[in-house]
Protein backbone atom coordinates (compact mmCIF):
# COMPACT_ATOMS: atom_id res chain seq x y z
CA UNK A 1 0.00 0.00 0.00
CA UNK A 2 2.85 2.40 0.75
CA UNK A 3 4.20 2.05 -2.77
CA UNK A 4 0.79 2.82 -4.25
CA UNK A 5 0.39 5.87 -1.99
CA UNK A 6 3.77 7.34 -2.87
CA UNK A 7 3.39 6.52 -6.57
CA UNK A 8 -0.07 8.10 -6.83
CA UNK A 9 1.11 11.21 -4.98
CA UNK A 10 4.40 11.41 -6.91
CA UNK A 11 6.29 11.39 -3.62
CA UNK A 12 9.31 9.11 -3.59
CA UNK A 13 9.75 8.87 0.18
CA UNK A 14 10.03 5.93 2.54
CA UNK A 15 7.29 4.85 4.90
CA UNK A 16 9.12 6.26 7.96
CA UNK A 17 9.59 9.53 6.05
CA UNK A 18 5.84 9.78 5.43
CA UNK A 19 5.27 9.53 9.19
CA UNK A 20 7.92 12.16 9.93
CA UNK A 21 6.53 14.56 7.33
CA UNK A 22 3.01 14.17 8.74
CA UNK A 23 4.25 14.79 12.30
CA UNK A 24 6.13 17.88 11.17
CA UNK A 25 3.00 19.19 9.43
CA UNK A 26 0.90 18.57 12.55
CA UNK A 27 3.54 20.25 14.72
CA UNK A 28 3.15 23.53 12.87
CA UNK A 29 6.55 25.17 13.29
CA UNK A 30 9.87 23.48 13.73
CA UNK A 31 10.15 20.53 16.09
CA UNK A 32 13.22 19.49 18.05
CA UNK A 33 14.58 16.26 16.58
CA UNK A 34 14.15 14.43 19.90
CA UNK A 35 10.52 15.55 20.15
CA UNK A 36 9.91 14.47 16.56
CA UNK A 37 11.34 11.01 17.33
CA UNK A 38 9.02 10.68 20.34
CA UNK A 39 5.96 11.83 18.41
CA UNK A 40 6.75 9.45 15.56
CA UNK A 41 7.64 6.65 18.01
CA UNK A 42 10.89 6.03 16.18
CA UNK A 43 14.46 5.45 17.24
CA UNK A 44 16.69 8.52 17.00
CA UNK A 45 19.08 6.79 14.61
CA UNK A 46 16.23 6.06 12.17
CA UNK A 47 14.91 9.62 12.47
CA UNK A 48 18.38 11.07 11.83
CA UNK A 49 18.88 8.85 8.77
CA UNK A 50 15.46 9.73 7.33
CA UNK A 51 15.94 13.45 8.02
CA UNK A 52 19.23 13.42 6.10
CA UNK A 53 17.40 12.02 3.06
CA UNK A 54 14.51 14.47 3.45
CA UNK A 55 16.94 17.37 3.77
CA UNK A 56 18.84 16.23 0.65
CA UNK A 57 15.49 16.16 -1.19
CA UNK A 58 14.79 19.70 0.09
CA UNK A 59 11.65 18.61 1.95
CA UNK A 60 12.86 19.72 5.40
CA UNK A 61 15.26 22.26 6.84
CA UNK A 62 17.23 22.20 10.07
CA UNK A 63 17.74 25.27 12.23
CA UNK A 64 19.42 25.88 15.55
CA UNK A 65 17.02 26.74 18.37
CA UNK A 66 17.21 30.47 19.11
CA UNK A 67 16.99 29.97 22.88
CA UNK A 68 19.11 26.85 23.22
CA UNK A 69 21.85 26.47 20.62
CA UNK A 70 22.27 22.79 21.52
CA UNK A 71 18.84 21.97 20.08
CA UNK A 72 18.29 21.43 16.37
CA UNK A 73 14.81 22.03 15.04
CA UNK A 74 13.37 20.59 11.86
CA UNK A 75 10.62 22.11 9.75
CA UNK A 76 8.97 21.54 6.41
CA UNK A 77 10.03 23.49 3.37
CA UNK A 78 7.36 24.71 0.93
CA UNK A 79 8.25 21.67 -1.21
CA UNK A 80 7.79 19.42 1.85
CA UNK A 81 4.39 20.94 2.62
CA UNK A 82 3.39 20.26 -0.99
CA UNK A 83 4.39 16.60 -0.65
CA UNK A 84 2.35 16.27 2.56
CA UNK A 85 -0.68 17.87 0.85
CA UNK A 86 -0.43 15.45 -2.08
CA UNK A 87 -0.02 12.43 0.21
CA UNK A 88 -3.09 13.48 2.22
CA UNK A 89 -5.21 14.12 -0.88
CA UNK A 90 -4.35 10.70 -2.31
CA UNK A 91 -4.99 8.98 1.03
CA UNK A 92 -8.30 10.80 1.54
CA UNK A 93 -9.49 9.88 -1.96
CA UNK A 94 -8.47 6.27 -1.33
CA UNK A 95 -10.61 6.16 1.82
CA UNK A 96 -13.51 7.83 0.00
CA UNK A 97 -13.29 5.27 -2.81
CA UNK A 98 -13.06 2.35 -0.38
CA UNK A 99 -16.11 3.52 1.59
CA UNK A 100 -18.18 4.81 -1.34
CA UNK A 101 -20.48 1.77 -1.30
CA UNK A 102 -21.13 1.91 2.44
CA UNK A 103 -24.48 3.09 3.77
CA UNK A 104 -24.76 6.02 6.17
CA UNK A 105 -25.63 3.54 8.92
CA UNK A 106 -22.51 1.46 8.23
CA UNK A 107 -20.34 4.59 8.26
CA UNK A 108 -21.86 5.70 11.57
CA UNK A 109 -21.27 2.25 13.05
CA UNK A 110 -17.65 2.27 11.85
CA UNK A 111 -17.11 5.70 13.39
CA UNK A 112 -18.57 4.63 16.72
CA UNK A 113 -16.59 1.39 16.82
CA UNK A 114 -13.33 3.09 15.83
CA UNK A 115 -13.84 5.68 18.56
CA UNK A 116 -14.49 2.94 21.09
CA UNK A 117 -11.46 0.99 19.88
CA UNK A 118 -9.14 4.00 20.23
CA UNK A 119 -10.49 4.78 23.71
CA UNK A 120 -10.12 1.17 24.88
CA UNK A 121 -6.68 0.77 23.33
CA UNK A 122 -5.49 3.94 25.07
CA UNK A 123 -6.82 2.72 28.42
CA UNK A 124 -5.04 -0.66 28.32
CA UNK A 125 -1.38 -0.99 29.30
CA UNK A 126 1.07 -3.38 27.69
CA UNK A 127 1.70 -6.63 29.52
CA UNK A 128 5.01 -8.44 29.56
CA UNK A 129 5.41 -11.32 27.15
CA UNK A 130 4.54 -14.79 28.35
CA UNK A 131 7.65 -16.90 27.72
CA UNK A 132 5.68 -20.15 27.79
CA UNK A 133 4.19 -19.60 24.34
pLDDT tens digits, residue range 10-39? 778 889 999 999 999 988 778 999 999 999
Check if the beta carbon of residue 54 is closer than 8 Å to that of residue 91: no
Q: Give the pLDDT of residue 133.
A: 60
With 80 as the cut, is the pLDDT of residue 5 above it? no
pLDDT band at 48 (very low <50, low <70, confident <90, very high): very high
pLDDT band at 120 (very low <50, low <70, confident <90, very high): very high
- CATH code of domain 2-123: 1.10.10.10
Residue 31 β-bridge partners = 74
Instruction: Give residue limits of the domains in the chain.
Output: 2-123
Amino acid sequence: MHGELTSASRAQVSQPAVVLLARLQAGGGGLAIGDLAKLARMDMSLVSRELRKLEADELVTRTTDARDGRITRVGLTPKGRGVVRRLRRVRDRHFEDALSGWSDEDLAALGALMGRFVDDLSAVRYREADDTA
